[in-house]
Chain A
Amino acid sequence: DGGITQSPKYLFRKEGQNVTLSCEQNLNHDAMYWYRQDPGQGLRLIYYSQIVNDFQKGDIAEGYSVSREKKESFPLTVTSAQKNPTAFYLCASSIVPGGAETQYFGPGTRLLVL
């Protein structure tokens, strides 16, 4: 089955800890994205990548880091510098980098702070 997967479904972070959210796609898409969603709100773009070994900051990149070493993988690290990390994190991919085409979303990871 083709698709985009995220793991884990729930993640707990302790104070001062870095945590990494996984995002994998087998759709052969060049572009991948990370969004943050707070309760009752829309999506805000954290980082996006249009091609392997390249990525750009979105609107709320502070306290987050990403890597794109493989086409199918785009992990997001929430660092200790992110003071309010509790949110729902969504990963997406699209065929056309930077274009206005359909995005395919994963099921999301909910991050909670202990």
Chain B
Amino acid sequence: SQQGEEDPQALSIQEGENATMNCSYKTSINNLQWYRQNSGRGLVHLILIRSNEREKHSGRLRVTLDTSKKSSSLLITASRAADTASYFCATKAGKSTFGDGTTLTVKP
């Protein structure tokens, strides 16, 4: 079974708006990672948050982690058309950890 489950499945917003996507997982973790995949390409690592961290920032990205609820959220602020992609969370390399992702469409 898959560890990470992203929500919503699809999200469509206007350029400049914020985008929030969520990830839920089932077992305890050491850390959680978010990846981006542009259509037809490989995945690119965005950010890693460790289990003892609650929030982490990287540029326009903000990730939160709530280990009591076994959930994480990724916020992209001031979105751009170039942010259009699928976003995945992952919790453990070497195991089937990727859900179906959230497909984000940012309209110019």
Contacts and interface: CB of A to CB of B under 8 A. Distances in A.
A42 B99 contact: yes
B49 to A, nearest CB: 11
Interface stretch (B57-65, B72-80, B90-98): B90-98
A43 B41 contact: no
Interface residues of A, number: 32
Interface of B: 2, 29-31, 33, 35, 40-45, 48, 88, 90-96, 98-101
A107 B41 contact: yes
A99 interface: yes
Given A42-B98, A43-B98, A94-B93, A100 B29 contact: yes
B42 A102 contact: no
Given A43-B88, A97-B94, A103 B45 contact: yes
A74 B40 CA distance: 21
A58 interface: yes
